[in-house]
Amino acid sequence: MPAIAEIPSTALPHPARHGTDLPTCPVCADTMIAAEASAYLSDNVIGHLWSCDTCGYGFVTKHVIVRRIACN
């Protein structure tokens, strides 16, 4: 059974180009394409479960959603 660790996401000052914000495995450095599962943890936090296809290591990332309200 692979170990699971929590790795916080990093906030980017501007949106990244497609493909540059994909997580990499902390054990073997393989790039991951899609989360195995995702869930709302609270109103503005989403957790993603990642599992590396190469080495089997699993970890969770958490992302805070920032909602911007536009005024007309």
Query: What pLDDT, in 10s, does the model give residues 8-39?
Result: 655 545 554 544 578 889 999 999 889 999 99
**DSSP three-state, residue 7:** coil
**Helices and strands per DSSP (H, E), number in the chain:** 0, 4
pLDDT on residue 9:
56
Over 80: is that where the pLDDT of 1 sits?
A: no
pTM of the model: 0.60
- Contacts of residue 2, defined as CB under 8 A and 6 or more positions apart, other chains included, come to 51, 52, 56, 57, 58
Q: What percent of the chain has pLDDT over 90?
A: 35
- Closest by CA to 29, choosing from 1, 54, 3, is 54
